[in-house]
Amino acid sequence: MTNSVMLAVWLSAFGELMMSQFIVMYGSVFLKEVLGFAVNHTGYFVAVPRALHLGFKVISGIASDRIHFWSEKTKMRLFNTIALMVSGAFFCILGYLPKDQAHLSVIALLVIECSTGFICGGFYKCATLVARQF
């Protein structure tokens, strides 16, 4: 509780988990009520990005462990940038997409979910490296 890096990792993890849970809980409502998709499609449009999210978590974790030509700090910065900046940019894009371009909104949700999968090589890896020092 006294290490500021670990507190930042916990805060980041909490934010990522809340964002992820928010999309799971309200993504289908957004797709149906705002974008006008049929109910039988909304579940798939939320479930497929979640499944890809898991795949990207596994891939980014393995990639972070197997990349040896960059330092751990550089890898954490790269994976955090992909996970947070890309998803944040696409959240902003999602907010401004018009209703008649609903397919682009689904693509934006897909990019958000896939890009946040890179957190395993980012702040979760940071927690592991910091914990090794104690």
The segments of the chain whose pLDDT lies below 50 read none
Q: Give the per-residue pLDDT at 93.
A: 95
Eight-class DSSP state of 35: T
CA 16 distance to own-chain centroid? 7
In degrees and rounded to multiples of 5, residue 36 shows phi and psi of 80, 20
CA 65 distance to own-chain centroid? 19
Length of the chain: 134
Nearest to 38 by CA among 106, 98, 90, 96: 106
Q: Give the per-residue pLDDT at 76.
A: 86
Q: Give the per-residue pLDDT at 90.
A: 95
Compute the distance between CA of residue 12 and CA of residue 18 in angstroms, rounded to an integer.
10
Q: Give the per-residue pLDDT at 59.
A: 92
pTM of this prediction exceeds 0.75: yes
Domain spans, the chain: 4-132
